[in-house]
Structures are given as structure tokens and as C-alpha cells.
Amino acid sequence: MMRVKPWLPFAFLAPALLGLFVFRFVPIGISLVGSFFGQSIRGDTLFVGLKNYLDLFGDPTFWGSVWTTLLFNVIINPLQVVLALGLAMLARRPTKFVDIFRASFLLPMTVSIALTSIIWSIMLDPTLGPVNGFLRWLGLPAQSFFRSPDQALPTLILVATWKGVGYWMVFLLAGLLAIPESLNEAAAIDGASPWRRFWHVTLPLMKRPLAFVMVADTAANFLLFAPVYIVTNGGPNGATHLLMFEAYQSAFAFLNHGRSLAISTIILLIVIAIALMELRLFRPEEEADTP
């Protein structure tokens, strides 16, 4: 690591830190403080200490969403990263038409999350949806998808992955393309199988991009709630009642900002803990300064 004049790093950091300070850190600080307050209906705020948190810990709805959120993330995060890496590997070589394929993988991310929710809710609609139209045509029974307690969460995972997989592929593709071809060729000449080359040459060089994608994907999926808000409303039977939806509902439907901010703070703590673990797991050997 470079040792330089003490002010120099801060000169490089200054514009970004200024922006983050004003537009993120100050509001986040206010929100964190807000999680220790309650609001009277007339808008006066009252200090309530840990009450918002203690109320949450005694609330089965909260624990239900914690469980749903963890289940959702334990499945979707590895799934998206593995699929994105697979796609990046497939789209890595500069063969014919590969730019058309890459572009088509990227297209879903230009569809906003609200629109994604609306389109898929129509595609998978039990009565008017083309997917069920197709199933009926094949002579198969129509499926409930978002409307069934068993299928709702898997459907949510698939829809989020539809939008996300191309997005995460971009970063991994950028990482793959930065690996010099010569390294792979050298290993191939040494007689290493494609699988060994992937495992021992490619993967170690992909630690930084992978770490980025893991952390960013974890944060994105913990904060995801638009499809829940637009399509399922947390149901059926709480099957898609994610923590972030509970936070949103608490703030904007139940007008309980203290509770909402307490949930957000808990989400923040969970995500940062997981992110630091992921960063440590994917830390390149030579790097000691990764948190």
C-alpha cells in the first residue's frame, strides 16, 4: 500500500464524502436516531428508548418476516451469483453473435422494478396470463404462481432473478475480460482440464469482482420489496412478507415511523454483517486492508 502525504487521500475522497455526508449520512443518522423515538398523532416526537426494538422482538409478525427474508436471501443470492457467473462464462468468448446474446441478457435490467412486477404479474396471472394460457394449451393445469402460498416465494425469486441476472453478469464479465487470455492458454498447454482451469486459474483471479457482486447482490435483495408491494402484499398467508415490506408498510400504511426505522436499522445491521463476512471470504491473499 502506498504511503503518501496525509492529506492526499482525503483530497481524492473529498467530493464523494461530501456528497455522501449530505445526502446519505445525515439522513441515515437522523433515521437511526429516529428508531429510538415514537411519534404522537399530531407529529410530536417522543423519546421511547429501546421500546421500538423491544416491541419488535415480542411480535410474531416480525419474526415471521425475519424468517421469510432469510429464506429468500439464502436461496436468491447464491442462485443469482452462480447463474450470473455461468452466463458470463458463456458470453465470455468473442464468438459470432455473442454481442447479440450479451445485449439480450442485459435488456431485462432496463425494465424498472415496478414495471417488472407489473409485467410478470400479468404474465403469471391465473386467468389472463399468457403463461397459464400456454399451460392450458399443453393440457396442463393452470398454476397460481404469486397467488399460492407454496409458489409465491419461488415465483418472487424467479422474477427478481429475471431482472437481476444480467445485471450481475455485467460485473463478472468485466472481471473475466480483464484476465489475460495468456494465463488460460498456458494452463491449457500444461494439460489442465477446463474444469481445473476454471477452478485454479479463473476463480482466484475473480475474487474481487465476485466479492463486489456478492455484497451488492446481498444488499439489493435484502432491500427488495417492490414486487411484494405491487403484486403480493406480503401474502398469501405471509409467504412473501419480507422485512423490507414490513418496514415500508409500517411507515407508509401504519404511520409508525419508529417501528419502521427500527426494522430498517436491523436490516442494515444484518446486511453489513453478511457483507463483511463475504468480503473476508473473498479477500485476495495479498490484501490485508479489506475490512
Q: Candidates 68, 77, 129, 202: give the one binding other proteins (CB under 8 A).
A: 129
**Nearest distance from C-beta of residue 263 to other proteins, angstroms:** 8
Which three cell numbers, joined as nine digits, stand for 214? 456478492
Cβ neighbours for 186, distance < 8 A, ≥ 6 positions apart? none
List 75, 79, 90, 192, residue binding other proteins (CB under 8 A): 90
Binding of other proteins by 12 (CB under 8 A) = yes
Specify the stretch interacting with other proteins by CB under 8 A; choose among 65-73, 74-82, 118-126, 195-203: 118-126
Q: Which of 57, 63, 67, 134 binds other proteins (CB under 8 A)?
A: 134
Residues 6+ apart with CB under 8 A from 227: 113, 116, 117, 120, 121, 156, 159, 160
Q: How far is the CB of 117 from other proteins (least distance, A)?
A: 10
| Interface with other proteins in residues 18-77 (CB under 8 A) | 18-20, 22-28, 30-31, 33-34, 37, 41-47, 61
Rule CB under 8 A: say whether 147 interacts with other proteins.
Answer: yes
Question: Distance from CA of residue 183 to its chain's centroid?
Answer: 32
- List Cα–Cα distances, 98 to 11, 262, 272, in angstroms: 42, 47, 37
Site residues for other proteins, 209-268, by CB under 8 A, read 209, 211-212, 215-216, 219, 222-223, 230, 233-237, 244, 247-249, 251-257, 260-261, 264, 267-268
Q: Which stretch binds other proteins (CB under 8 A): 65-73, 74-82, 98-106, 195-203?
A: 98-106
CA distance 212 to 168: 10
Cell for 82? 452462480
From the CB of 75, what's the least distance to other proteins, in Å? 19
Q: Does residue 108 interact with other proteins by CB under 8 A?
A: yes
| Cα 188 to Cα 205: distance, rounded to the nearest angstrom | 16
| Interaction between residue 198 and other proteins (CB under 8 A) | no
Tally of CB atoms within 10 A around 4: 8
Angle at 160 between CA 157 and CA 165, to 5 degrees: 110
With binding defined as CB under 8 A, does residue 197 bind other proteins?
A: no
